[in-house]
Amino acid sequence: MTISGVGLRSSAMVQSLVDMRAQLADLQRQLGTGKKSQTYAGLGLDRGLSVGLRAHLSALSSYDSTINTANVRMNLAQSALTRISDIGHESKTNIAATSDVSMQIAQQSARSGLGEILGLLNTQAGDRYIFSGLSADQPPVETIDHILDGDGARAGLKQLIAERNLADLGTGQMGRLVVSSPSPTSVAVSEDVAGSVFGFKLAAISTTLTGATVSAPAGSPPQMSVDLGAVNPNAGETVSFALNMPDGTSTTITLTATASANPGPNEFTIGVDTTATAANLQAALTNAIGTAARTTLAAASAVQASNEFFAADTNNPPLRVSGPPATATSLVAGTAADTVIWYTGETSATPARQTATARIDDTITANYGMRANEDAIRRTVQNVATLAAVAFSATNPDAQAESSALYDRVRPALDAPPGAQKIEDIQAEIAGAQNSLAAATERHKQSSATLSDLLQSIEGVSNEEVAAQILAMQTNLQASLQTTAMLYQTNILQYI
């Protein structure tokens, strides 16, 4: 502001005093706030840069907070995955150590292991379920009770296994096979219904019996047979029936000809002629198939039921036996209303890792999403659950054979087949993401320090400098005030 002249005294002089006072006040403010200016105007030419720097710093700090959040989640995931993997190993060890009497104990520990795995899969970081893919506000898996025992009208794994067991074994507990004798010297085995998905499936037949001929599986329903012809076989010669089972495994029933009148298991007595021998063979075959159905097939059936139960998600409900199990011939998709769907998280075509991303730098994102139904995790859950779900009756004479058939299937299945995803693979991928997080944190620390320094040099003041300026200004102001006072006092009136 300009000031109108006051008589003789130069207004410019007064103005300069006012300016000095204002400068002093501004210096004092700078010392107090540590800031060069309270407005963008006062920052000088770098004002635009200061806005940019602050935006960058703010972005860095939000990256850092994202990194912290993501790190917590990944650490939780790592420890959960480690434990799940351990439980898988423990279950395997338990199976190996199981003797017949402790069947119950292995099952008990499998049940508690399953409970723990499910608990781990429902791990929350804050309110977020880390194994739920894109539906992180929903728990990814059902409770152990629902999964094993069902929930009201919704069937659980045990019920599915039981239904499948009935369906696979069929009414006569023969694994849906029919043994017949199409001619006096021949024995045939056929599937009960063409196209049925249950029970044994005929694979091949072979023999070393002298004079016998075999017919490979053919017809509808398929049938295979052995005709002993006119010559009795010699003792020690065999006929083999190869059968496929629902879980993709196969078994071969080999019957050996014996001269003994009291044949052991899987033996048949050579009769007086081939007709008598064929009758013995038919009886032995019926017996052997019955045994295989109650043991091996039952185990395979349980494994397959479990396969179907755990392959399901909300978009693909589990396949169940259609109609009365003992006579059923096909599978039907269950519904969410009648079957427990173990995985309740999100399912889409998005790769699991990409269901959670952390932006950790301007152009870098770390993917760390997980789903509880990823192959590796599902395999562990499924096999431990199968162990826990299959019931063996102590009074059942086949129980031991059945359980050993089951263990033989579950034990290798707990290890990933070559090329398939392992839990360790998930862990490695998460660890990779954590590495890039750590690297980004380090980078951010350095950039942040540099940028802050630069910002400080634009906006901040050096206290020493300001203090020195204040001193100098104070001296100047005092001198000016004194001089002004002297000038005002110097007047002719003092001297006349």
Partner 1 sequence: MSLGQALATSTAGLRATQAALALTASNVANADTPGYVRKTLTQVTSSAGASGVSVRVDAINRELDQYLQRQLRTEMSGGAYADLRAQFYSRLQSVYGAPGSASSLEGVYNDFTTALQALAASPEDSAARSGALSAAQILAQQLNSMSNSVQGLRSDAELGLSNATQQANNAMKAIADINRQLATSVTQDATAATLKDQRDAYIDQLSKLMDIKVVETDHNQVNVFTNSGIQLVGRDAAQFSFQPQGTMTATAQWNADPAKSTVGSLVLVSPSGGTYDLIANNAVRSGQIAAYIEMRDQILVEAQAQLDTIASSMAQALSSTTVPGQPYNPMPQSGFDLDTSALLPGNTIHLTWTDTITGKQHNVSIVRVDDPNALPLKNDATADPNDEVIGVDFSGGMGSVITQLNAKFAGKVNFSNPSGNTLRILDDGLGNLADIDAVSATVTQTSLVGGTLALPFFTDATSPYTGAITSLGSQSVGFAGRMVVNPALLADPSKLVVYQSGGYTADPARPNFIYDQLTTASLTFDPHSGIGSVGSPFSGNLPSYLRQMVSMQGEAADNASSLAAGQDVVVNALQGRVAEGSSVNIDEEMANLLNLQTAYAANARIMSAVKDMLDTLMKM
Taking CB under 8 A as the criterion, the residue among 40, 93, 332, 482 binding partner 1 is 40
If binding is defined by CB under 8 A, does position 487 make contact with partner 1? no
If binding is defined by CB under 8 A, does position 136 make contact with partner 1? yes
Query: Residue 66 Cβ, how far from partner 1 at the closest point, in Å?
Result: 4
The smaller minimum CB distance to partner 1, of residues 225 and 355, is found at 355
The smaller minimum CB distance to partner 1, of residues 17 and 178, is found at 17
Taking CB under 8 A as the criterion, the residue among 29, 83, 111, 128 binding partner 1 is 128
Query: Residue 200 Cβ, how far from partner 1 at the closest point, in Å?
Result: 43
Q: Which two tokens stand for residue 57?
A: 């710093």
If binding is defined by CB under 8 A, does position 491 make contact with partner 1? yes
The smaller minimum CB distance to partner 1, of residues 47 and 422, is found at 47
If binding is defined by CB under 8 A, does position 413 make contact with partner 1? no
Query: Phi and psi at residue 3, in whole multiples of 5°?
Result: -120, 130
Q: Which amino acid is at 272?
A: V
The smaller minimum CB distance to partner 1, of residues 27 and 413, is found at 27
Whole-angstrom Cα Rg for the chain: 43
Cα–Cα distance between 268 and 235 in angstroms, integer?
9
Query: Residue 388 Cβ, how far from partner 1 at the closest point, in Å?
Result: 30
If binding is defined by CB under 8 A, does position 38 make contact with partner 1? yes
The smaller minimum CB distance to partner 1, of residues 154 and 359, is found at 359
Query: Residue 61 Cβ, how far from partner 1 at the closest point, in Å?
Result: 7
The smaller minimum CB distance to partner 1, of residues 42 and 265, is found at 42
Q: Which of residues 41-100 bind partner 1 (CB under 8 A)?
A: 41-45, 47-48, 50-52, 54-55, 58-59, 61-63, 65-66, 69-70
Taking CB under 8 A as the criterion, the residue among 346, 361, 374, 402 binding partner 1 is 346
If binding is defined by CB under 8 A, does position 373 make contact with partner 1? no
